[in-house]
Amino acid sequence: MSICSHCHEWTFWYEEKMIIPAEAPVEPPHPEMPEACRQDYIEARNVFVKSPRSAAALLRLCVQKLMPRLGEKGENINDDIKSLVAKGLPVLVQKAFDYCRVVGNNAVHPGEIEINDTPEIALSLFDMINFIVEDRITRPREIEDLYGKLPAESRIAIEKRDTKSN
């Protein structure tokens, strides 16, 4: 047994695997994560200790379910990422999406990445997904909220400025 350096609670281990708590010591889902994604994320947290590969596969599914919330079809992650890039997706966010796509896919179809040997790879998916939600959902909402607080006259002047042809 040991004390978690993150939450300072007791953890119990057997043969180098944490058995209590059953939930992985990873960040909880982002507060603004869509509910369909949240369920998969939480399930991935619950199985991470016993099966990082299963967690990675669930997190890839989480990314796929996130795509319709971002205006994409949600049928093919690679096509959805391509569409988001064409719409101006920042390179850093594109890399986060591709990381989730490749690692999650390799959890289901083993390739060059062996998640069972390096649970840190699967663990990083939790961070990537929370980063994506923060960047694609939370920040735009926060900016829109602040912009909406500007006086109406200022917003009209900005719109007029941006629609003027030179």
Beta bridge partners of 144: none
Question: What's the chain's length in residues?
Answer: 166
Question: What is the predicted pLDDT for the residue at 10?
Answer: 83
Q: Nearest Cα to 135, choosing from 90, 103, 100, 104?
A: 90
Residue 45's H or E segment, with its range, is helix 35-47
Question: What is the predicted pLDDT for the residue at 165?
Answer: 66
DSSP letter (8 states) at residue 110? -
Question: What is the predicted pLDDT for the residue at 160?
Answer: 93
Question: What is the predicted pLDDT for the residue at 110?
Answer: 60
Interatomic CA distance for residues 124 and 154, integer angstroms: 43
Question: What is the predicted pLDDT for the residue at 108?
Answer: 67
Question: What is the predicted pLDDT for the residue at 25?
Answer: 73
Is pTM beyond 0.85? Reply is no
Beta bridge partners of 12: 20
Per-residue pLDDT of the chain (166 residues; tens, 9 = 90+): 888 776 677 888 888 777 776 656 788 899 999 999 999 999 998 888 888 888 888 999 999 999 999 999 999 999 999 999 999 999 999 999 999 888 877 766 666 666 665 788 888 999 999 999 999 999 999 999 999 999 999 999 999 999 976 5
Interatomic CA distance for residues 166 and 150, integer angstroms: 26
Give every strand in the sheet of 10-14, ordered side by side. Answer: 2-3, 10-14, 17-20
User: Residue 100 corresponds to which amino acid?
Assistant: C
Beta bridge partners of 18: 13
Structure tokens at 100: 């989730």
Do residues 72 and 65 make contact, with C-beta atoms less than 8 angstroms apart? no
Question: What is the predicted pLDDT for the residue at 134?
Answer: 97
Interatomic CA distance for residues 54 and 4, integer angstroms: 23
Question: What is the predicted pLDDT for the residue at 5?
Answer: 72
Helix count (H) and strand count (E) of the chain? 7, 3
